[in-house]
Amino acid sequence: MDTRYIITSTAAAVIALGMNAGLAPAKADALDDIMERGSMIVAIDPTFAPFEYTDSEGNIIGYDPELLEAIAEDWGVEIDYQVMAFSGVIPGLIAGSFDFTATALNITAERAQKIDFTIPITSTVNAILTTKGNANVTNSNINDLSGNRCAVKQTTQPEQMMQSMNEELSAAGMDEVELLSFDTVEQTIAALVDGRVDCVVDDIVVLHKAMASRPDIEMEIVGEIGTKAVIGWGTNKDDPKLNAALNDALKKLKASGKMGELQEKHFGFRIDNLPEENFIPEG
């Protein structure tokens, strides 16, 4: 093998792939771009009912889109959705491929190091879903789940929560929960229906929606697991003006009661006392 070939190849690979790591674009705040353009480019992954999903004609609907529509109307701009798989959303936001994301994001300390969050627009908790009458899973106590198979959506907060709980289980000398990680909520439910797993762990609101969507299968939520978390949208760290403007708009929607109405409509209940400060959990 020719050394010259190896050296050129390696150098080119490093340059090509490392290119985007170092350079940061010098640009105006995305808010100015939006106003100038008359439209906001917003990333969304509409596979997460009731937060964001599609109707039978393919229109994007849900809690987040309706909030966003109210803001767009207020600002007098159009919404230009960038519909994309979730795995591209946060990397794209960091790179500045769109203005911001209105996909429901769990507000976590790790994410807050890389992106900015808006104020929380809802709070949530994870829960355990199983098929009715499953003798292996009767409650949501982690010690009782030990040794069972459980489906989660990959790279999400529920998955990471279960992984930490597994560490505690094995530290206590117990069997871990065997995790199967899939790409979408629908696939975790399919794994449960096919008998590949005993239970599914996800956001309780999402699980309720999933149960309602599969009336042919008898499923039940046996309990909540883990602590409550807050959900918000994400902006690039270079766009503080946009972040502030979104926060102002969201506060206005909250004060007018519109946000509560939408929560009632999409979740079936209202969430009071959402924090507006110090809402980033400690890492």
**The residue count for the chain:** 283
Nearer to other proteins, 14 or 125 (CB): 14
Distance in Å, CB of 20 to other proteins, minimum: 5
Nearer to other proteins, 136 or 141 (CB): 136
Nearer to other proteins, 156 or 247 (CB): 156
Nearer to other proteins, 105 or 259 (CB): 105
Contacts of 195 (CB under 8 A, 6+ apart): none
Distance in Å, CB of 194 to other proteins, minimum: 4
Token readout for 136 is 């292996």
Cα separation, 149 vs 196, in Å, equals 8
Distance in Å, CB of 272 to other proteins, minimum: 29
Nearer to other proteins, 134 or 138 (CB): 134
Nearer to other proteins, 87 or 141 (CB): 87
DSSP letter (8 states) at residue 277: S
Angle at 12 between CA 11 and CA 15, to 5 degrees: 85
Token readout for 127 is 């829960």
Distance in Å, CB of 91 to other proteins, minimum: 4
Cα separation, 237 vs 253, in Å, equals 24
Distance in Å, CB of 273 to other proteins, minimum: 29
In this structure, the number of other CB atoms found within 10 A of the CB of residue 173 comes to: 6
If phi > 0 it is left, if psi is from -120 to 50 it is alpha, else beta; for residue 95 that is alpha
Distance in Å, CB of 279 to other proteins, minimum: 18
Nearer to other proteins, 157 or 243 (CB): 157
Q: Where are the alpha helices (DSSP H) in the chain?
A: 3-22, 30-37, 63-75, 86-95, 109-114, 142-145, 157-171, 185-193, 204-213, 240-255, 258-267
SS (H, E, C) 8-58: HHHHHHHHHHHHHHHCCCCCCCHHHHHHHHCEEEEEECCCECCCEEECCCC
Distance in Å, CB of 172 to other proteins, minimum: 22
Nearer to other proteins, 215 or 272 (CB): 215
Distance in Å, CB of 222 to other proteins, minimum: 20
